[in-house]
């Protein structure tokens, strides 16, 4: 990349569209190809807060009413992780704070993440980079997906081309090509639903927030008519770059189905949507590496392998930690932001040129406070 930077310790935070909780992770990185994972933890949201967050994301409540609590919960995650790692805040160069997406409408040039970066900076005593997506959207990009540069760094030592598939609430793929300067030739886009529709269906019909181990889906049959209606959405034929809101698809075609058949159909829908993405890749990936909560669902993983016809493996197959990956990605992106390196590219978000971004919040030292 021209300039060699010394690695620094960074901490990343992620509250994903699955709304299950906060992931926090430490990495040492130079913001380029050097990534050394550290300790991580996950703190689940309680049912009451998860409901409030869901209401905000669905437009049923004022999102900024939960922003302060969301930020404070992230600050507690920072404290808990540093305590577990026996580290002082002063040794962490920067926190990458994604916040929580409550609306993503790229066709309206709009993406909204709640989370107060300045407050987190004050509570943690560590520099914070937040608001990663705004500059990309303002520059003409989709504002998502944002992890591909990190995926390129993670896969730099393995055979490529390879696809990294994140199955959180929404599914997104990063196609990392073979050869030099892979970062500048990345292709990435949202494939369709990840686990959000399956989770919503399971919660409605079983009271559980997920279809654990795919048990509900495995007891049902795919309804081909409902699946066809879901796959008829214009989104799937639209060329990338493209991205989705968590609520872009609804469950109307499934309303007549039993709980088990609905879960089976939604699982098939997620896999089929991923398979549709192949038409937009320059060459078929030799393997698919899956991260996010979806990789824990054996029924979904089996459906993906059948639909794609090549090895589909959890990201752990290359020594990475799929439960930490998104948090690690935003730690990595925070370091890139501090150094003015691109976070998004024409092939990932559709931004006209490689683009940096992020809002920087600088922690004051005790000496600075005393001088004021």
Query: What is the number of alpha carbons within 13 Å of residue 319 lying toward its C-beta?
Result: 9
From 56-60, 185-189, 206-210, 339-343, the region with the lowest mean pLDDT: 56-60
Please give the pLDDT value at position 218. Answer: 98
The sign of the CA dihedral 103, 248, 304, 142 is negative
DSSP codes, 6-57: --EEEEEEEE-TT-SEEEEEEEEE-SSS-EEEEEEEEEEPPHHHHHHHHHHH
Write down the architecture of domain 8-143+325-371 according to CATH. Answer: 2-Layer Sandwich (3.30)
Q: Tens of pLDDT along 349-361?
A: 999 999 999 999 9
- Is the bond into 51 cis (omega within 30 degrees of 0)? no
> Which are the contacts of 311, defined by CB distance < 8 A and separation ≥ 6?
286, 287, 288, 305
Please give the pLDDT value at position 251. Answer: 85
Of 184, 372, 160, 166, the closest CA to residue 285 belongs to 160
Q: pTM value?
A: 0.88
Higher-scoring residue by pLDDT: 279, 62: 279
| Residue 39 near residue 158, CB atoms below 8 Å | no
Q: Tens of pLDDT along 119-167?
A: 999 999 999 999 999 999 999 999 989 999 999 999 999 999 999 999 9
Domain ranges of the chain: 8-143+325-371, 148-318
Report the mean per-residue pLDDT for the chain. Answer: 92
From 67-71, 105-109, 306-310, 315-319, the region with the lowest mean pLDDT: 105-109
The sign of the CA dihedral 149, 155, 157, 158 is negative
User: Where does residue 76 rank: exposed (0-12), middle (13-18), buried (19+ CB within 10 A)?
Assistant: middle
Q: What share of the chain is helix, strand, coil (3-state, %, to 5)?
A: 40, 20, 35
Q: How far is CA 158 from the centre of its chain?
A: 22
Please give the pLDDT value at position 368. Answer: 53
* Phi, psi angles (nearest 5°) of residue 46: -75, 165
Q: Residue 309: pLDDT above 90?
A: yes
- Would the CATH topology of 8-143+325-371 be identical to that of 148-318? yes
* Average pLDDT of the segment spanning 67-72: 95
Please give the pLDDT value at position 4. Answer: 58
Residue pointed to by tokens 């990956």: 325
Residue 181, classed as helix, strand or coil, is: coil
Please give the pLDDT value at position 322. Answer: 92
Q: Residue 1: pLDDT above 50?
A: no
Return the CATH fold of 148-318: Nucleotidyltransferase; domain 5 (3.30.420)
Tell me the two tokens of residue 368.
């600075």
Please give the pLDDT value at position 325. Answer: 94
Please give the pLDDT value at position 369. Answer: 39
- Distance in angstroms (rounded) separating the CA atoms of residues 194 and 130: 24
- Distance in angstroms (rounded) separating the CA atoms of residues 10 and 131: 17
User: Where does residue 96 rank: exposed (0-12), middle (13-18), buried (19+ CB within 10 A)?
Assistant: buried
Q: Tens of pLDDT along 73-101?
A: 999 999 999 999 999 999 999 999 999 99
| Residue 310 near residue 287, CB atoms below 8 Å | yes
Higher-scoring residue by pLDDT: 126, 209: 126
Q: Tens of pLDDT along 5-17?
A: 799 999 999 998 7
* Average pLDDT of the segment spanning 232-243: 93
| Residue 202 near residue 260, CB atoms below 8 Å | no
Residue pointed to by tokens 């075609």: 253
* Average pLDDT of the segment spanning 264-283: 97
Q: How far is CA 191 from the centre of its chain?
A: 13
- Distance in angstroms (rounded) separating the CA atoms of residues 81 and 117: 18
- Distance in angstroms (rounded) separating the CA atoms of residues 150 and 338: 15
Q: Tens of pLDDT along 164-178?
A: 999 988 999 999 999
- Distance in angstroms (rounded) separating the CA atoms of residues 66 and 242: 29
Q: How confident is the model at residue 250 (pLDDT cuts 50, 70, 90)?
A: confident
Packing angle between helix 117-124 and helix 64-85, nearest 10 degrees? 30
């Amino acid at each position: 990349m021209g300039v060699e930077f010394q690695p620094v310790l960074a901490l990343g935070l992620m509250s994903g569209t699955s709304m299950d909780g906060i992931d926090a992770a430490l990495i040492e990185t130079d913001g380029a190809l050097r990534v050394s994972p550290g300790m991580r933890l996950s703190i689940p949201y309680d049912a009451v807060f998860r409901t409030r967050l869901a209401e905000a994301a669905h437009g049923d409540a004022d999102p900024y009413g939960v922003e302060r609590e969301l930020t404070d919960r992230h600050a507690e995650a920072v404290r808990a992780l540093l305590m577990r790692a026996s580290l002082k805040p002063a040794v962490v160069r920067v926190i990458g704070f994604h916040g929580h997406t409550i609306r993503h409408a790229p066709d309206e040039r709009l993406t909204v993440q709640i989370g107060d970066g300045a407050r987190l900076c004050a509570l943690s005593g560590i520099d914070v980079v937040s608001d990663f997506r705004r500059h990309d959207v303002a520059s003409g990009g989709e504002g998502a997906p944002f992890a591909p540069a990190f995926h390129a760094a993670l896969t730099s030592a393995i055979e490529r081309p390879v696809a990294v598939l994140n199955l959180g609430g929404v599914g997104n793929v990063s196609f990392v090509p073979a050869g030099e300067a892979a970062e500048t030739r990345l292709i990435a886009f949202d494939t369709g639903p990840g686990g959000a529709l399956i989770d919503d269906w399971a919660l409605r019909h079983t009271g559980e927030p997920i279809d654990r181990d795919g048990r509900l889906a495995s007891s049902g049959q795919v309804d081909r008519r409902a699946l066809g209606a879901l796959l008829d959405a214009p989104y799937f034929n639209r060329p990338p770059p493209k991205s989705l809101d968590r609520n872009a698809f609804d469950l109307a075609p499934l309303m007549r189905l039993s709980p088990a058949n609905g879960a089976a159909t939604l699982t098939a829908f997620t896999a089929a949507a991923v398979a549709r993405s192949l038409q937009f890749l320059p060459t078929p990936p030799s393997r698919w590496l899956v991260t996010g909560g979806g990789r824990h669902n054996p029924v979904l993983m089996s459906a993906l392998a059948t639909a794609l016809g090549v090895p589909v493996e959890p990201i752990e197959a290359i020594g990475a930690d799929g439960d930490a990956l998104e948090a690690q990605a935003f730690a990595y992106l925070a370091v890139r932001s501090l150094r003015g390196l691109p976070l998004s590219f024409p092939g990932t978000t559709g931004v006209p040129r490689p683009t940096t971004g992020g809002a920087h919040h600088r922690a004051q030292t005790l000496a600075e406070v005393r001088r004021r």
